[in-house]
Amino acid sequence: MEQFAPVKRSKDGQPVRYLIVDDSVFARKNLARMVESFGGHLAGEAGDGLTAITEYDRTHPDIVLMDITMPQMEGIEAAERIVQSHPDARIVMVSSVGYQENIVAALQRGARHFVQKPVKPEVLYEVIKYVLGDDGAVATAAGAGV
């Protein structure tokens, strides 16, 4: 897999911590591989929205990558509940169902961005940098930016 310049947390130079939520283990593993290629660290995983809420409370990740169509509780509702409890939560919806009303609903209920599957690593990388804003920094070869 292509390697990207690591994105670190600005405040302490540590790897960005991710919570990956998808009912497909295969999709979770693929996303985990991608975020690791961005220099990130997998803080937790969940296979449904309900578990995502408890995992968020347990791990306090920097970014959540959240699928939409899942059993028990769908991703948009889970995102809304997480943001209600943690207004600073950065949630990126990652779904194959990318029609406009779904995207708008997700953004209105607290998600920061939307990435359509199949996920292109270069697209996810740019979205993560955008969502982190000043809280993220791209490390240079010399270690600048961390």
Partner 1 sequence: MKMDVIQPFINSADAVLAQGLECSTAIGSLSMEEEAYRRKGVAAMVWLTGDIEGRIIIDLDPETAVRVASKMAGAELPESDSLVRETACELANQIIGNAITALNDQGFHFRVHPPVMHMSEEGIKSSEDTEALVMCFETPIGSVFMNIALRYNRKRHADAASAGH
For residues 110-129, which are near partner 1 according to CB under 8 A? 116-118, 120
Measured distance CA(60)–CA(37) in Å, rounded: 21
CB of 97 vs partner 1, minimal distance in Å: 4
Give the nearer residue to partner 1 in terms of CB position, either 61 or 75: 75
Q: Which stretch binds partner 1 (CB under 8 A): 19-27, 56-64, 105-113, 123-131?
A: 19-27
Secondary structure (DSSP) of 125-145? HHHHHHHHGGGEEEPPTT-TT
CA distance 76 to 64: 12
State how far the Cα of 64 lies from the Cα of 81, in Å rounded to an integer. 13
Using the minimum distance from each CB to partner 1, give the nearer residue, 24 or 108. Answer: 24
CB 44 within 8 A of CB 58: yes
With DSSP H G I counted as helix, E B as strand and the rest as coil, what are the percentages for the chain, rounded to 5?
40, 20, 40
Q: And the tokens for 110?
A: 């607290």
- Does residue 3 touch partner 1 according to CB under 8 A? no
User: What is the C-alpha to C-alpha distance for residues 10 and 132, in angstroms, rounded to an integer?
Assistant: 9
To partner 1, the closest distance from the beta carbon of 105 in angstroms equals 12
Q: Which of residues 31-90 bind partner 1 (CB under 8 A)?
A: 33, 69-71
Instruction: Please say which residue, 123 or 143, places its beta carbon nearer to partner 1.
Output: 123
Query: Quick one: 88 or 99, whose CB is closer to partner 1?
Result: 99
- Kindly list the residues in this chain that would bind partner 1 in the complex (CB under 8 A): 1, 23-27, 29-30, 33, 69-71, 95-102, 116-118, 120
